[in-house]
Structure 1
Amino acid sequence: MKTITKLFATALTAFAIFTTTNLNAQEMTTMSTNNGMAFKVGVGLNGGLFRKSSPMEYSYGADLKLQWDLTKDVAVTASGGYAKLKGRNNALDFDFIPAKGGVKVFAIERMYLAAEAGAGFGIEDGAKTNFIYTGGLGYEWNNGLDIGIRYEGYVNDSSSTTYFRQTGQYAVRLAYNFKL
């Protein structure tokens, strides 16, 4: 648990530093078109840690996320990428392509709550598809920088050659969003 505590402490400290250093009197600009909607593409890097009871130890990956801002407070997301889960003592490594859809709710200015669900398509022969669910929070700056923390759970098919019991990770995502 100490490693997870350190990860969260580091993420929260970085989040606090980034948000408090930009709290000067600034005019809020939005990335929207004339009809109030906006499209963004985010390129991100991910890293996470699992609980001690999990067969997995850590993960890393990259993603591409499409975001459609329906209003200034609600956005719909779709993402895909690559993820690698590393097992404890090199017992099991699992490579997959996650495909998820979800929603972001901007509760306070640029701060958001996010939820996603989708599938993780195993790359190895005999690997089955995982069900993936996530929930977290983050902050999106006007300059395009986006940082988020989340819990991501995995439910695996027991007939898979890369089977591991249901588990989840605590992850950090650093990304940059491009306006379309």
Structure 2
Amino acid sequence: MNKKTKLLAASLTALALFVGTRSNAQSIEKGKLRFGIGLDGLAPVGNFTKTANFGLGLTPRLQYGISNRFALTFTSGIYHFFPKDIYLNSGTQTYKTQWELNVVPVKVGFKAFVTQHIYLGAEGGIGFQVDNGGGDSKYLFSPSVGYASKNWDFSLRYENFSGNGYRNGVIGARIAYGFGL
């Protein structure tokens, strides 16, 4: 991670920790399931900016409250990255190509509420590439900070993709609507 990404992650974590000093009833309930569907905006960082402009994701999430302050999560969906034009020189000719990337993330994680609505989260899992022949997979890890109300969930995260000599990341913003099951 570059210095700007580390600074952003540290700032978001500090903000979440210092916003509230006491814990009240949380946006989750012990033993209850919630389902939410989110829309993600994904901004590439690092070397990823050379091949992708931005990405969009659609991510359903199942959440189970293990206490009034902690929840386990299971998230999947799809990320689509919009490619930049890449020009390759081959002898006397120049070829224009576009790199495609669609990823199906499968992640498990947790949310820990530090105030009634503010939480810190982390997820880990695998992202499966589903275009260009597919078959390639990457390890995913994403720390996050968010705000959750009865029906809405807003979060920011850094998501790292790594594997097969490949390591890149995105800054993601997720807006989700959820309800109890």
Deviates most, 120-129 or 58-67: 120-129
Give the number of the structure whose residues are more often strand, by fraction.
2
Matched, 1:131 2:139: yes
* In structure 2, distance between residues paired with 1:74 and 1:139: 14
Shift of 1:45: 0.5
Residues 46 and 168, structure 2, Cα contact 8 Å, conserved in 1: no
Alignment partner, residue 45 of structure 2: 51
**Aligned equivalent of 2:21:** none
Structure 1 residue 40 corresponds to structure 2 residue 47: no
1:176 corresponds to: 177
1:6-21 pair list within 5 angstroms:
none
Counterpart of 2:67 in structure 1: which amino acid? T
Aligned-residue offset at 1:37: 1.9
Is 1:86 aligned with 2:94?
Answer: no
Match of 1:62 in 2: 58
Matched AA of 1:37: G
User: Using CA pairs below 8 Å that are at least 6 residues apart, which structure has the higher relative contact order?
Assistant: 2
What is the RMSD of the two structures over their aligned residues, measured on CA atoms?
A: 2.4
Structure with max Cα Rg? 2
Instruction: With the length of structure 2 as denominator, give the TM-score of the two structures.
Output: 0.73
| Partner deviation per Cα, 1:51-75 (whole Å, 9 max, x = no partner) | 2532333111101100001111100
Corresponding pairs, count: 148
SS of residue paired to 2:136: coil
For 1:166, what is the secondary structure of its paired residue?
Answer: strand
Match of 1:167 in 2: 168
* Correspondence for 1:162: none
Q: Say yes or no: does 1:110 pair with 2:139.
A: no
**How many angstroms apart in 2 are the aligned matches of 1:29 and 1:93?**
41
Contact 1:130 1:157 in 2 (8 A): yes
Give TM-score, length-normalised by structure 1. Answer: 0.74
Aligned residue type for 1:138: G
How far apart are 1:43 and its partner, in Å? Answer: 0.5
Q: Taking every aligned residue pair, what percent have the same amino acid on both sides?
A: 25
- C-alpha contact (below 8 Å) 1:138/1:146 kept by paired residues: yes
1:146 is matched with 153
Contact 2:28 / 2:71 at 8 angstroms: preserved in 1? Answer: no
Structure 1, unaligned runs of 5 or more:
13-26, 159-164
Where structure 2 has 5 or more consecutive residues not aligned to the other structure, the ranges are 13-23, 87-97
Cα deviation 1:87-143 (Å, max 9, x = unaligned):
33263120121100001000111110010001111112144111111011000012x
**Runs of 4+ in structure 1 over 3 Å off:** 27-32
